[in-house]
Amino acid sequence: MQSTTLGRSDLSVSPICLGTMTFGEQVDEAATHVLLDHAVARGINFIDTAEMYPVPARADTFSLTESFIGRWLAARPGLRHKIVLATKVAGPARGYNWIREGSADLRAHDIVQACEDSLRRLQTEVIDLYQIHWPNRHVPMFGGLYFDPAKDQPVTGMHEQLEALQQLLRAGKVRHIGLSNETPYGVGEFVRLAEQHGLPRIVSVQNPYSLVNRVVDNGLDEALHRHGVGLLAYSPLGFGTLTGKYDAQGLLDPAQRGRLSVFESFKKQRWARPESLAAAQRYNALARAHGLAPTQMALAWCYTRWCVASTIIGVTSQAQLDENIEARGITLAPELLAEIDKIRWEIRDPAQ
């Protein structure tokens, strides 16, 4: 699989990244190792995880995914240097009172300690890409739509967080840094502070990007391009809605074992909005009308977007992994792309 350089870094990553949020919840450890082995065999060298994984986040499974990956690496001597390993420090509390006792702030020493803990679980000496999972400041995200200045609270600022990340880089514990669930303002401010104060510069931003959520195209794409920051597109299948599996009976189909069907908490999130499901049905019908499986069209669209450095896929089986990888060879006709844009013009981004 041809690799690409991530932002202004020296990281050479596969254009498909294996996301791991299902490992430890829907996928047990033995199956996790099989999927990781198969991904590497198929040419994927980029693995993304987080201290809070798996999801849905629960106190008794916190950090389990990193531990699975660490034991996988430990059992395969020589593999670590072939893998680009990314993980994330969780942002301020979102009801997760088992993470830093539910702190509403992500302080410098929290970042350092979280990194140390991830290194231990991952059984590695260095993390290739260390990311802040979500902003410390008030930002509308994970389904939020509007910025409200009244919700601002005094928290640790970007400058202090960058100083903590610089400490980790200088200690050789982190190679590069990135952000996740960020806004154009956040990207620009992190870059400005880094350049002004000689602090580490972000190389990537990990944000949702799919047919049902193209908020990246509303200004973040330009910010990433101008600043030389790579986009890691997550949820390219809209949490499974763009596979077509929910088209016939919605989220209540007992035959479906997708996350939106299995977990009640996900049914309350942006991907499960009636508008999101209706939009996905339109895109899925368009794919079938052009002789494509919905998964193929949704992934081929994301894989070929100019702003995407690598697309993060999440799977629970080898069949899903193969299907997702093989969609990369599909080229969508200009006429089909125009029809996709026409639907988006009418419905915008229901899973924002």
User: What is the Cα–Cα distance from 105 to 217, expressed in whole angstroms?
Assistant: 29
Tell me which DSSP letter residue 313 carries. E
Q: Which amino acid is at 172?
A: G
Cβ–Cβ under 8 Å, residues 147 and 101: no
Neighbours of 192 (CB within 10 A): 12
- Based on the residue annotation, tell me whether 53 is a catalytic residue of this protein: yes
Backbone angles phi, psi at 252, to 5 degrees: -100, 5
Spatial CB neighbours of 237, under 8 Å, sequence gap ≥ 6: 210, 243, 295, 298, 299, 313
Q: What is the rounded radius of gyration, in angstroms, for the C-alpha atoms of the chain? A: 19
For residues 63-81, one letter each, b for 16 or more C-beta atoms within 10 angstroms of the residue's C-beta and e for the rest, the string is bbbbbbbbbbbeeeeeebe
Query: Cα separations (Å) of 249 from 240, 277, 278, 287?
Result: 14, 11, 12, 19
- Catalytic residue ranges: 53
